[in-house]
Amino acid sequence: MIVLGVDPGSRVTGYGVIDVAGGKESLVEYGVLALSGADSHQLRLKQIHDRLLAVIDRCLPDVCAIEMPIYGNNAQSMLKLGRAQASAMLAALSRDIPVIEYTPKEVKKSVTGNGNASKQQVWFMVRSMLSVTADDPKMGLDASDALAVSLCHAHRGDSKGGARYSGWAQFIKQNPGRVGP
């Protein structure tokens, strides 16, 4: 199963694609869509849509996992973030790819074990899980957040063939090679 993860933003949108096979995740592609602040909000939304379509056409994901905006101090910022999320969702849905939403806490807990983890902790764990070197210039916080969304979907499982675990004991039993010193 190929999973496209998206961390939507109105200025920077992170994306990450992983391949999940045999209980293991491997990195396919990741990066950020850096959007020009000089462009109008509407043009940035179109760029998110068009550039994610290019990623989708290259990587052919089976599912799109996206982080959903939950709360913010500024209503205008939240509106823009919601529109960026909708633009990303529309890109996937226009290619008949199902979209699954995850809260930031679900994503953080899935990759770090702590729903209140910092972005740096998520970055560290994603790099560790997918064997990405610390000096890779493409692996910023937005790209690692998007890959974390992909990994969250892979770990949560669904009716599309992902694994489901009732707890850490079951995960360790089914994945003995993934847990160690």
* Catalytic site positions: 7, 67, 142
For 168, the token pair is 């850490």
Residue 66 falls in which region: left (phi positive, over 0), alpha (psi -120 to 50) or beta = beta
User: Beta strand pairing status for 12-21 and 24-34?
Assistant: antiparallel
Other CB atoms within 10 Å distance of the CB of residue 103: 14
For 41, the token pair is 């909000």
* 14/143 Cα distance (integer angstroms): 5
**41, 82 contact by CB (below 8 A):** no
| Amino acid type, 178 | R
For 160, the token pair is 């599309």
Using DSSP's 3-state secondary structure scheme, residue 97 falls into coil
| Amino acid type, 29 | E
Tell me the torsion sign for CA atoms 64, 17, 147, 94.
negative
